Structure 1
Amino acid sequence: MSEIINNREQEKLDKSKRQEMLKEIIKDLHAGKSVEEVKQRFNDAVGTISVAEISDMEHSLMVEEGISVEEVQRLCSVHTEVFKGSIEEIHNQNEPEQQPGHPIHTFKLENRAIDQHVNFKLQLHTERFEKDQSEENIKKLIDDLSELLDIDKHYSRKENLLFPFLEKYGIFGPTKVMWGVDDRIRAAIKKARMELVNGDLNTKEIVESLNYIIYEVTEMIYKEENILFPMSLQTLTEDEWIKIANESDIIGYTFAEPAGVWKPERAGVDGNVHSGEGYIKLETGILTVDQLENMMNHLPVDITYIDKDDFVRYFSHGKERIFHRTKSVIGRTVQNCHPPQSAHIVNELLDDFKSGKKDSEDFWIKFRDKYVLIRYFAVKDKDGNYAGTLEFTQNIGPIQEITGEKRLMS
């Protein structure tokens, strides 16, 4: 045991020493030295560690040492030279995540396009607006932010497809923190756009908001590619990546589509839970699995069922769902299906149902082009004990427009 402890202590010392050497190299680069001049020293610093370890070290330099993103990016160019190839060539092209259509490959394609949008297009138009608040410059910023709202699809796939599998393996911290940052980015984009549309032109504040968006989006790209994606690739099974790939179309993509259809070497996995055969005997009838499935999916409402232990067990999936659901939420706690800042509302509602304080709760909101009624019902067993919660969602806009009577078929 003492030998293991001593080895760990030595690893910490080695890592600390390497970080110090890397910081000195960054300072030299900042002072104007060329890649060639620092290449040998870099090689001495990293020794035989892997590219993944270098990425971890770079992140540590940013978080613990306060080194700027730009400087760390310059360091990336050095280890690209050391390994004699591009960043892409450092990684094994035969790895699944390098193959077109793999969820990570698609996430990274999107990140390249998102990075281009914020650090070139939005950055350029922000600089022009700061100098001249003309209608043309304002319109360009509004258009940029309107397009950037599409980042919600990238973040939603991450939150609703990738996070549930990580949580299954007990990885909760990074997912909760990252989801919270995603929400701040979404809110900042909406706020800045609204201020520009409404003409609330405090130039300094708007420029600060835009620079905040650019910075946070860029930081999120770095966190995804150097922390989240490597951790996910080490954790998830091929079956789980297949499920993520199969369900990604439900949510959609940001600025880039999958470059192909990912076909793992092992074929035949379709993720189906059942074949549709067999009967379910109910108190008032008998249905096949297919009959029950078809019936539920043709209801003009969305239904989600949460069991007594707060796990999502079922949702209907008709052609026009109001709120997207993906199969990965099945078996996930309902609290982890909501942004962290709204989890307390979910808990309060469930506590009221479990205690018997309430049997139902209604909400109604404007959502895109719909007026949505969201109803929650406490489900009880035959003895009156709490057995779960039913969520019932419906677009009531068309119903509100009904007048008079209709007694004959159209």
Structure 2
Amino acid sequence: MSELINNREEGISAHRTAHIHLLKEIIKELHHGKSVEEVKSKFNQAVGEISVDEISELEQVLMQEEGIPVTEVQRLCSVHAKTVFKGSIQDIHRAHQPEEQPGHPVFTFKRENQEIDRLANFKIALHLDQFLKDQGEANRLKLLEDFSLLYDVDKHYSRKENLLFPFLEKYGIYGPTKVMWAVDDGIRMGIKEVKAKLTHDEGNAQSVVDLAKRVLNEVTEMIYKEEHILLPMALEKLTEDEWLLIAAQSEEVGYCLVAPDQPWIPERAAEPGAGQGLGSSPLQEGYIRMSTGILSVKQMESILNHLPVDLTFIDEHDIVRYFSQGKERIFVRTKAVIGRSVQNCHPPQSVHVVNQLLADFKAGVKDAEDFWIPVKDKFVYIRYFAVRDEEGNYLGTLEFTQNIKPIQELTGQKRILSP
């Protein structure tokens, strides 16, 4: 009997491998210039239906085995999501569907998508038509307000990138997350470009409308990719406890256009506040003995959380091990990043900068590196320090982030206590 089972499993595996190979060849044909119709016909004849797991595998194979960069996979997968694979992705049938319960992270993602779609394809589409006919101040300001509101997708994408992606990576799913993050960043940048054009009023209404329509199309396609590829794949992989962790940390990042009406409470879970909340644990009793003193674990954590800076530490293997939780964090950090590779915590287009900085620290070429950037109403000073032991061995990197705008504005002197 065991031999029959093994043979059956080997047969399924061989079929799956052949299926992935066919999909890869079809995408490569698109890459080399074949028409969508030509490829779609071959796809329908040779492949039939495709599962979300196979899409995930396909994207990883393209990057790892074929050496196609993330940006190119992103373009190709946008084509296949819109044309080749649309309507052929298998539905995932589950007897138990907790994502249909209000407050579940997937329920919230989908509810936000409804509002995003309504804003993009009804309200903004209407205002674009009005603007093209009349570039008056009123119509320009309407669109500027619309795209400022649309930028709220940043929270939707940030929850996806900082809460959902880390769990998928624990299941070995990297390709789709990298591709999707790159698309998210392209949408963010596109919205900013539209706002800049509308703010400076360059007088070329058609260029504004063309750019705006491209961005709206990308936003709409992202909704499709999330609801037909990403979220079904996540529902297939993640446990109920993992969804609870995502739900518990979602408010830290924020919601897009609409917030949950109620928390998600699975049937088997306790009511919020009954006992210790999921995702947190009581501080261990004990003390930390250092060369200049002794502190309890509670004292140490409280001190770090009271510093007017954000601290993040990654170890010698580039794994995120700690971050402080001050009252006014500058950049989003969620507990899901703990244990995650730091490279996967950054957008694909900036990973090369991270890798170069870490390589310099590990090689002893540098001990520190500084950056400074404006972020909304802040001026953010970001410092990286190589952490070494007494013998100079590299132990990891400390990220130190501070809003220095209040410091820049200091003048004169202050020598006494404020009244």
Q: Provide the TM-score with structure 2 as the length reference.
A: 0.78
The residue number in structure 1 matching 2:243 is: 241
Q: What amino acid is the match of 1:154?
A: H
Per the TM alignment, residue 94 of structure 1 is displaced from its structure 2 partner at its CA by 5.1
Deviates more, 1:127-136 or 1:231-240: 127-136
Match of 1:294 among 291, 302, 312: 302
Q: 1:273 to 1:6 in 2, by over 3 A?
A: closer
Confirm or deny: 8 A CA contact 1:276 1:288 kept in the other structure: no
Q: Indicate if the aligned counterparts of 1:195 and 1:201 stay in contact, CA closer than 8 A.
A: no
Q: Report the Cα offset of residue 92 of structure 1.
A: 6.9
SS at match of 1:292: helix
Question: Residue 140 of structure 2 aligns to a residue in which SS?
Answer: helix
1:156 aligned residue:
158
SS in 1 for 2:331: coil
Q: Distance in 2 between matches of 1:68 and 1:238?
A: 29
State the distance in 2 between where 1:285 and 1:6 align.
59
Which residue is 1:272 aligned to? Answer: 280
SS in 2 for 1:408: coil
Given the alignment of the two structures, is residue 392 of structure 1 paired with residue 400 of structure 2, yes or no?
Answer: yes
The 5-angstrom pairing of residues 4-403 of structure 1 reads 4=11, 8=15, 63=80, 66=83, 95-267=97-269, 270-403=278-411
RMSD: 3.3
Instruction: Report if aligned partners of 1:280, 1:288 keep a CA contact under 8 Å in 2.
Output: yes
The residue identity in structure 2 corresponding to 1:318 is G
> Alignment partner of 1:257: what SS?
coil
Whole-angstrom distance in 2 between the partners of 1:231 and 1:133: 44
Runs (4 or more) in structure 1 with deviation over 6 Å come to: 49-53, 90-93
TM-superposed CA distance for 1:222, in Å, is 0.3
Residues 405/226 of structure 1: CA separation in 2 closer, same or farther (3 Å cut)? same
SS of 1:66's equivalent? helix
Contact 2:313–2:321 (CA under 8 A) maintained in structure 1 = yes
What amino acid is aligned across from residue 130 of structure 1 in structure 2? L
Aligned partners of 1:6, 1:295: CA distance in 2, in Å?
A: 53
Contact 1:159 / 1:179 at 8 angstroms: preserved in 2? yes
Alpha-carbon spacing, 1:51–1:396, altered in 2? closer, same or farther (3 Å): closer
CA contact (8 A) 1:61 1:67 kept: no
Deviation at 1:284, TM superposition (A): 2.0
Secondary structure, counterpart of 1:379 in structure 2:
strand
* Structure-1 separation of matches of 2:202 and 2:320: 43
Residues 273-304 of structure 1 show CA distances to partners (whole Å, capped at 9, x for unaligned) of: 44342222222222222111111100111111
Contact preservation (8 Å) 1:243, 1:271: yes
Q: Distance in 2 between matches of 1:300 and 1:61?
A: 42
CA distance in 2, matches of 1:387, 1:61: 41
The Cα shift of 1:403 comes to 2.3
Equivalent in the alignment of 1:19? none
Aligned equivalents of 1:6 and 1:161: distance in 2?
Answer: 31
- 8 A contact 2:314–2:397 mirrored in 1: yes
Distance 1:153 1:396 in 2: 24
- The CA distance in 1 between the partners of 2:147 and 2:78, in whole Å, is 31
CA distances 1:341-372 after superposition (whole Å, capped 9, x unpaired):
00000111111111111110111111111111
Return the alpha-carbon distance in structure 1 between the equivalents of residues 137 and 368 of structure 2. Answer: 49
Do the aligned residues in 1 keep the contact of 2:115 with 2:258 (CA within 8 Å)? yes
Question: 2:30 corresponds to which residue?
Answer: none
Q: Which stretch shows the higher mean deviation, 209-218 or 393-402? A: 393-402
Determine helix, strand or coil for the equivalent of 1:157.
Answer: helix
Distance in 1, matches of 2:162 and 2:147, equals 23
Distance change >3 Å, CA 204–CA 67, structure 1 → 2: farther
Distance 1:287 1:225, change over 3 A: same
Q: Share of identical aligned residues, percent? A: 56
Say if 1:114 and 1:255, in contact at 8 Å, map to a contact too. Answer: yes
Deviations 1:130-159 (A, max 9, x none): 222222221111111010011100000000
Could you say if the C-alpha distance between residues 342 and 327 of structure 1 is closer, same or farther in structure 2, counting changes exceeding 3 Å?
same
In our comparison, the structure showing a higher alpha carbon Rg is 1
Distance 1:205 1:251, change over 3 A: same
Q: Distance in 2 between matches of 1:166 and 1:97?
A: 17
The number of aligned residues is: 360
Structure 2 unaligned segments of length 5 or more: list them. 1-6, 24-47, 57-76, 271-276
